[in-house]
């Protein structure tokens, strides 16, 4: 039977009817295949070639070999962008995952107007990131609503709030914490200063807009947990907190780890908020690899350097790939029991 099947597959082009069906299928697929071949495979191969050249978009690429890759560790701006993004990932991923899980648990419980609240909470995720960024731009102004809120709250306790220019403050988190103890972190050790106030403001915006998407994923997973598990736990005397940590969290572990992987990949690729709000400033404290690749490749702050940009793009891709492999290892090794 297997030999017959193999023979039938090998004789498709000999059968006029089968040949016509195969040709028709490929004709319908040809637009997609052509676009993929030209704009995905072709561009990818061209980018590989460009990464080994000096290319400014206006002259013929000049082959330089591994020059751009060898200079990777000496590239202060790119290293700084990686450190900024690492801080970003370490803060944003846990917070947005925890917030998404909390919202999902709340909206999965019996309550009135459940669909209304689900829609309201999910709205930031379906709104254009450009629109959201400009809304937060107005909120973060020195005369904006964020400073107004803190001024009113501080006023209740008889204190005065110092207005902060949220999108132009390079002071780092650790720097602010240690300053009252007389510890001053020099600018040469910028990596110990921690994420800047501006960077943390962008983090808050990203958590606000991304957590609802992960909330929907948690909601779907919560509805797959058998109610009988909670009933049995209640009979055994487990309270709500014990049920959450002994039933809900373990059953959601595969989804939690998946969301952590997706969130990590997304944080390493952050671009639009930086482009619209800070352009990498102040003092490069919000500079990210993707924005650096964009600005250097198109010559935003100097002559275009497409070879440099392509090489940094592949280095960033390798970093994301390594992080994904590590996290995938945790997923595969930690979720078989579920």
The whole-angstrom separation of Cα 65 and Cα 52 is: 5
* Section 210-235 average pLDDT: 90
Q: Which of 223-232, 295-304, 324-333 is least confident? A: 324-333
Does the pLDDT of residue 9 top 70, yes or no? no
Bond preceding residue 282 cis, omega within 30 of 0: yes
| 3-state SS string for 46-110 | HHHHHCCEECCCCCCCEECCCHHHHCHHHCHHHHHHHHHHHHHHHHHHHHHHHHHHHHHHHHHCC
From the list 95, 104, 108, 110, the residue with the least C-alpha distance to 212 is 104
Q: Tell me: the pLDDT tens digits for 145-182?
A: 999 999 999 988 888 888 889 999 999 999 999 988 88
Binned at pLDDT 50, 70 and 90, residue 2 comes out as very low
Binned at pLDDT 50, 70 and 90, residue 215 comes out as very high
Confidence (pLDDT) at 21? 83
From the list 170, 166, 167, 178, the residue with the least C-alpha distance to 80 is 170
The whole-angstrom separation of Cα 16 and Cα 317 is: 46
Domain boundaries, the chain: 2-50, 73-334
**CATH superfamily assigned to domain 73-334:** MetI-like (1.10.3720.10)
The whole-angstrom separation of Cα 285 and Cα 117 is: 36
* Section 185-200 average pLDDT: 91
φ/ψ of 281, rounded to 5, equals -90, 180
């Amino acid at each position: 039977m297997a030999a017959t099947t193999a023979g039938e597959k090998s004789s498709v082009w000999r059968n006029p009817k089968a040949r016509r069906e195969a040709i028709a299928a490929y004709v319908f697929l040809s637009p997609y295949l052509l676009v993929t071949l030209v704009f995905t495979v072709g561009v990818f191969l061209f980018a590989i070639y460009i990464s080994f050249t000096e290319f400014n978009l206006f002259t013929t690429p000049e082959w330089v070999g591994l020059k751009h890759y060898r200079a990777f560790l000496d590239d202060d701006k790119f290293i700084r962008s990686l450190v900024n993004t690492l801080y970003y990932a370490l803060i944003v991923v846990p917070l947005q995952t925890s917030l998404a899980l909390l919202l999902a648990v709340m909206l999965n419980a019996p309550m009135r107007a459940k669909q209304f609240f689900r829609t309201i909470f999910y709205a930031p995720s379906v709104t254009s990131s450009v629109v959201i960024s400009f809304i937060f731009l107005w909120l973060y102004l020195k005369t904006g609503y964020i400073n107004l809120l803190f001024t009113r709250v501080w006023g209740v306790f008889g204190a005065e709030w110092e207005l902060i220019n949220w999108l132009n403050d390079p002071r780092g988190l650790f720097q602010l914490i240690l300053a009252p103890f007389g510890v001053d972190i020099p600018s040469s050790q910028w990596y110990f200063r921690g994420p800047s106030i501006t960077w943390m403001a962008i983090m808050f915006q990203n958590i606000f807009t991304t957590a609802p998407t992960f909330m929907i994923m948690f909601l779907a997973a919560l509805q797959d947990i058998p109610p009988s598990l909670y009933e049995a736990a209640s009979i055994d005397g487990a309270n709500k907190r014990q049920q959450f940590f002994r039933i809900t969290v373990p059953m959601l572990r595969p989804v939690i780890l998946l969301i952590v992987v997706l969130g990590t990949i997304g944080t390493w690729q952050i671009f639009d908020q930086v482009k619209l709000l800070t352009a990498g400033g102040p003092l490069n404290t919000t500079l990210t690899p993707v924005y650096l690749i964009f600005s250097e490749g198109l010559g935003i702050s100097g002559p275009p350097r497409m070879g440099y940009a392509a090489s940094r793009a592949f280095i960033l891709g390798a970093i994301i790939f390594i992080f994904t492999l590590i996290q995938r290892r945790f997923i595969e090794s930690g979720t078989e029991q579920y």
